[in-house]
């Protein structure tokens, strides 16, 4: 049994948080992960408020255990999304793609734990003053919107810079990754890509198969020139990005390519013209598994790693 302060903080059994992947982390997946003893998270992304309301109601029917919502701070519906989370509070709110500072007091007032994703030490330090509960330090191995540092470099730097619990994300797939994160000083992990091929994940089978057949160098970073780099599986759309960036196309034109493209992949199943956001561990995902099996496999694997490491201590 591996228990950390994250388990006590969130009221969960295992120190594993499921990534709040926009359009991919729906009620079914979040509820399955929470039921299995991790923390399931609904990804609000850029979805309209009614979508989130429906997902919240569905999740509450499927589990009585704690779950979270990831708020993408660049959502066009940000204010309405926050209003919903104040009217129908959830156990945990994780945030991405911005600074959640001004929303922290109202959420915490209701007992919601607020855990921002950070990709730099500077943002983590700034947010300590807003009264957040913990941080998720996300390395650039992750899928989606990323920073510049790898998890190996970022996690210990955030651990050293703040007095709050740090959860590691980016490049983590199994028990080896979990133990590595703990070794860096983290109290748990967040995994997104690993859960994309969970049986309960509602993304189209075509997208799951694309992840399953991907190899180590199949993710690429697009949009660096716009200031919003995104990691996704290489396809027709990322080649278009590459071409436009090489030709120094105007930022607005490059950004236009991305509009609606995540939904196109994750809901419509268009793996050529959509953005199939996935992390570098995509190559390790090679089959479909129920969320419970994923979590138990990670925990069993971590235990074996610790036993093996312990044998090496003389």
Contacts with ligand TUI by CB under 6 A lie at 22, 45-46, 72, 74, 96-99, 117, 119, 123, 138, 144-147, 228, 277
Closer CB to ligand TUI, 63 or 190, in the complex:
190
Q: Concatenated DSSP letters for 137-204? A: EE-TTSSEE--SS-HHHHHHHHHHH-SS-EEEESS--SHHHHHHHHHTT-SEEEESHHHHTBTT--S-
Rounded to a whole number of angstroms, the minimum distance from the CB of residue 236 to ligand TUI is 19
Strand order in the sheet with 40-43: 16-18, 188-191, 166-169, 135-138, 113-118, 92-96, 67-72, 40-43
Closer CB to ligand TUI, 26 or 119, in the complex:
119
Rounded to a whole number of angstroms, the minimum distance from the CB of residue 145 to ligand TUI is 4
Rounded to a whole number of angstroms, the minimum distance from the CB of residue 26 to ligand TUI is 15
**CB neighbours of residue 102 within 10 Å:** 9
Closer CB to ligand TUI, 55 or 63, in the complex:
55
Instruction: Give CA–CA dist 233/206, Å, rounded.
Output: 13
Closer CB to ligand TUI, 59 or 94, in the complex:
94
**Nearest to 244, CA basis, from 233, 231, 235, 253:** 253
Rounded to a whole number of angstroms, the minimum distance from the CB of residue 168 to ligand TUI is 13
Rounded to a whole number of angstroms, the minimum distance from the CB of residue 283 to ligand TUI is 19
**CB neighbours of residue 237 within 10 Å:** 23
Closer CB to ligand TUI, 123 or 155, in the complex:
123
């Amino acid at each position: 049994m591996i228990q950390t302060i994250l388990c006590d903080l969130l009221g969960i059994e295992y120190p594993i948080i499921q990534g709040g992947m926009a359009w991919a982390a729906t009620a079914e997946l979040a509820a399955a992960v929470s039921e299995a003893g991790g923390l399931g998270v609904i990804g609000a992304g850029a979805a309209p408020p009614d979508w989130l309301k429906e997902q919240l109601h569905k999740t509450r029917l499927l589990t009585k255990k704690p779950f979270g919502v990831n708020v993408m701070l660049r959502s066009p519906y940000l204010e309405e999304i926050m209003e919903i989370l104040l009217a129908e509070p959830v156990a945990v709110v994780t945030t991405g793609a911005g600074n959640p500072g001004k929303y922290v007091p109202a959420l915490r007032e209701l007992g919601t734990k607020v855990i921002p994703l950070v990709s730099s030490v500077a943002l983590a330090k700034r947010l300590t003053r807003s009264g957040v509960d913990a941080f998720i330090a996300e390395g650039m191995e992750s899928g989606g919107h990323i920073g510049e540092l790898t998890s190996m470099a970022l996690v210990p730097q955030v651990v050293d810079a703040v007095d709050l619990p740090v959860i590691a994300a980016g490049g983590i797939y199994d028990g080896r990754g979990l133990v590595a994160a703990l070794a860096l000083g983290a109290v748990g992990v967040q995994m997104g890509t690993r859960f994309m091929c969970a049986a309960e994940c509602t993304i189209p089978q075509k997208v799951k198969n694309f992840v399953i057949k991907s190899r180590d160098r199949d993710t690429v970073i697009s949009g660096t020139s716009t200031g919003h780099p995104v990691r996704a599986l290489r396809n027709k759309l990322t080649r278009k990005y590459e071409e436009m960036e090489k030709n120094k196309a105007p930022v607005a034109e490059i950004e236009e390519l991305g509009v609606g493209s995540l939904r196109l992949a994750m809901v419509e199943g268009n793996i050529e013209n959509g953005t199939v956001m996935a992390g570098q561990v995509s190559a390790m995902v090679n089959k479909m598994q129920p969320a419970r099996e994923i979590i138990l496999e990670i925990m069993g694997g971590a235990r074996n790693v610790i036993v093996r490491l312990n044998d090496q201590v003389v």
